[in-house]
Structure 1
Amino acid sequence: MQTNLDFVSLQVVDINKSAIFYTDVMGFKKGDSPNQHAVVFETEAGSIFAIRTPLIDLSHVELKGAGISLWFKVANADKLYNKLIEKEVTILKPIQDGPFGRFFVLKDPDGYAITIHGES
């Protein structure tokens, strides 16, 4: 049996604020969303990344996504890193060399740790 990652969704407190972060700040492109409670983003790999309104009460969750490592590949990690520094995005781990090229970890508006990797 072969398996492939098909869909990843983050539950967010303010879907509009998070959608602006992922599109205007991160540069993601919105895709078609059949769910009115979600925003889906296009990916080149065929898997789906989305944000959605919460299915649980997130006000009691102290560390969202603890134990999960979510990585996004970009063409130029250094370029995006510098853009995010200028936009004052919280960086949890500065850019450095890693097993998959250059990488860094940022904090999204809900506190999820997002790893970005790619070439320099």
Structure 2
Amino acid sequence: MSAPNLFLVYVTDAERSTAFYSDLFDMKPMMVTPRYIPFEVAPGVVFALWSGQSDRLGRQTPRTSEIGLMLPGPASAVDELHAVWTAKGATVVEPPHDEVFGRTFVVADPDGNLIRVAPVD
């Protein structure tokens, strides 16, 4: 069986979200279309923004997820990234704090999708 290799984040404004994620993660998309913007995050692994709609999956359908970024290094690396992201204007949902798995914080993208930073497991 193959492992998952495409992770979609639903967005309402693809252009705004592309700018947000490009700046936040300091990466460029593989390509840009009006509704689908993929970023290669590892060889063969894609994180993509998707604003497409279908007859069965409309705006009223709840979509919940949390994007994770696991950082190597000490707990201070989490605090340092928090400072960088807040300077970029990221909306902080949970400020840095200690959890059972280590130091963490959560920000939200323009659509309210959550992005958690934590140490490498």
TM-score, normalization by structure 1:
0.74
Runs of 5+ consecutive residues of structure 2 not aligned to the other structure:
none
RMSD between superposed Cα atoms in Å: 2.6
Q: How many residues align?
A: 113
SS at match of 2:41: coil
Matched with 1:71 is 68
TM-score, normalization by structure 2:
0.73
For residues 14 and 38 of structure 2, what CA distance do their matches in structure 1 show? 11
Matched with 1:39 is 37
Deviations 1:67-109 (A, max 9, x none): x333122453222210122233211111123354422111110
Deviations 1:10-63 (A, max 9, x none): 121111100111012x124124238653111131374211102232443x46x6
What code does the residue aligned with 2:6 have? F
Are residues 15 and 34 of structure 1, via their aligned partners in 2, closer, same or farther at CA, if it must alter by over 3 Å?
closer
For residues 18 and 7 of structure 1, what CA distance do their matches in structure 2 show? 17
Kindly indicate whether the alpha-carbon contact (under 8 Å) linking 1:103 and 1:118 is maintained by their aligned counterparts in 2. Answer: yes
> Which stretches of structure 1, 4 residues or more, deviate above 6 A after TM superposition?
none
Matched with 1:81 is 82
For residues 40 and 100 of structure 2, what CA distance do their matches in structure 1 show? 25
Identity of aligned residues (%): 25
Matched with 2:114 is 113
Kindly indicate whether the alpha-carbon contact (under 8 Å) linking 2:82 and 2:105 is maintained by their aligned counterparts in 1. Answer: yes
For residues 16 and 115 of structure 1, what CA distance do their matches in structure 2 show? 22
Asked whether 1:18 is paired with 2:55, we answer: no
Runs of 5+ consecutive residues of structure 1 not aligned to the other structure:
none
For residues 77 and 46 of structure 1, what CA distance do their matches in structure 2 show? 27
Matched with 2:28 is 30
